[in-house]
């Protein structure tokens, strides 16, 4: 607990101990207590760390804009967004927060996909969650689903670490094992779109026949994936220019006739004066 507080608020242990000896020498052996008192003297309020209580709602039954408890298992690490900012108010700054007089530290917002027996949903954890989660971690959390039913914002969290061993080998005949690629965070839309298949000819014993093409993915499915990608990019505050350039290449490859402004409108996303995407 003490190390988490020191790291989260970018505090020097020796400085805190010195302050404790000057102000509360009788309690100086309790570093956690002294650290909390030190933060209080700086006007910093430590958010309460509480376990979610109350009924757990199935993911498929979550209503937007309502405080809800859900539980599930991490199925995918979607994205991480890191910047320098104030450890108290989380406001972006490169130096010292003018309001809280705290030095800027690295802060990371993390997005995961979790699922239960009824469905999946994306959740967002603030930098106040000190350690990243992993695929296979079971969680119970309390938060709010946004009005567009896209992201569940977590405010209280309880984690049971994964029992899945990434190095375990399934008991399968060596001849049937396919190469397993290293697990990684999804960063491009191409990684969530259906894999394109090349036409496969159907040979016959006598006269060769022309290749039979695989039926194309319905256009609506690709459009929905594009819209989903734009919404996730906007949630992470990504550059509109870079997103447009990537989507232009992808739509040309998939032979989809849709413009970037049309996709923005369908996704309900705008461009900020700084040139970033915003929902």
Mean pLDDT across the chain: 77
Residue in 107, 101, 128, 129 with CA at minimum distance from that of residue 39: 101
Give the pLDDT mean for 45-74. Answer: 82
235 shares a domain with 264: yes
Residue 115 lies in a domain: yes
133 shares a domain with 65: yes
35 shares a domain with 90: no
> Would you say 102 and 39 are in contact if contact means Cβ atoms under 8 Å apart?
no
82 shares a domain with 142: yes
Q: What is the pLDDT of residue 214?
A: 42
139 shares a domain with 76: yes
Domain residue limits at 34: 2-41
152 shares a domain with 117: yes
Give the pLDDT mean for 107-121. Answer: 93
Number of domains in the chain: 3
Residue 260 lies in a domain: yes
Give the pLDDT mean for 217-228. Answer: 64
The domain boundary residue, chosen from 137, 160, 183: 160
Asked if the model's pLDDT at residue 198 lies above 60, the reply is: no
pLDDT bin (cut points 50, 70, 90) of residue 262 is confident
Residue 238 lies in a domain: yes
Residue 256 lies in a domain: yes
Residue 226 lies in a domain: yes
24 shares a domain with 110: no
123 shares a domain with 70: yes
Using alpha carbons, list the distances in angstroms from residue 11 to 1, 39, 40, 91, 112: 14, 9, 13, 18, 29
Higher pLDDT, 191 or 248: 248
74 shares a domain with 135: yes
Asked if the model's pLDDT at residue 168 lies above 60, the reply is: no
64 shares a domain with 36: no
As a whole-number percent, the residues of the chain with pLDDT over 90 amount to 25
DSSP 106-120: EEEEEEEEEE-SS-E
Asked if the model's pLDDT at residue 52 lies above 50, the reply is: yes
Residue 192 lies in a domain: no
Q: Which helix (H) or strand (E) holds 219?
A: helix 219-235
81 shares a domain with 31: no
**Looking at 32-41, 104-113, 228-237, which range is the least confident one?**
228-237
145 shares a domain with 72: yes
Residue 191 lies in a domain: no
Residue 20 lies in a domain: yes
Q: What is the pLDDT of residue 48?
A: 58
pLDDT bin (cut points 50, 70, 90) of residue 182 is very low
Asked if the model's pLDDT at residue 49 lies above 60, the reply is: no
């Amino acid at each position: 607990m003490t190390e988490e507080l020191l790291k989260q608020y970018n505090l020097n242990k020796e400085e805190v101990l010195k302050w404790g000896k000057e102000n509360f020498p009788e309690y100086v052996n309790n570093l956690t207590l002294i650290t909390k008192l030190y933060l209080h003297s700086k006007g910093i309020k430590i958010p309460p760390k509480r376990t979610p209580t109350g009924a757990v709602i199935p993911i498929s039954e979550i209503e937007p804009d309502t405080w809800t408890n859900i539980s599930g298992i991490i199925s995918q690490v979607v994205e991480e967004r890191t910047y320098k900012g104030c450890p108290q108010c989380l406001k972006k700054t490169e130096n010292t927060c003018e309001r809280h007089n705290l030095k800027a530290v690295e802060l990371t917002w993390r997005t995961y996909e979790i699922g239960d027996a009824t469905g999946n949903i994306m959740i967002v954890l603030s930098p106040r969650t000190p350690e990243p989660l992993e695929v296979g971690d079971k969680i119970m959390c309390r938060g709010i689903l946004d009005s567009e039913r896209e992201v569940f914002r977590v405010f209280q969290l309880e984690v049971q670490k994964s029992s899945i061993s990434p190095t375990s080998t399934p008991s399968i005949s060596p001849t049937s094992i396919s190469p397993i690629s290293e697990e990684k965070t999804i960063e491009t839309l191409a990684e969530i779109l259906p894999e394109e298949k090349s036409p496969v000819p159907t040979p016959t014993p006598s006269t060769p026949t022309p290749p039979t093409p695989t039926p194309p993915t319905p256009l609506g499915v690709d459009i929905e994936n594009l819209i989903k990608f734009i919404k996730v990019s906007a949630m992470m505050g990504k550059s509109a220019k870079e997103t447009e350039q990537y989507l232009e290449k992808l739509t040309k490859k998939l032979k989809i006739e849709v413009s970037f402004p049309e996709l923005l409108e369908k996704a309900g996303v705008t461009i900020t004066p700084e040139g970033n995407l915003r929902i």
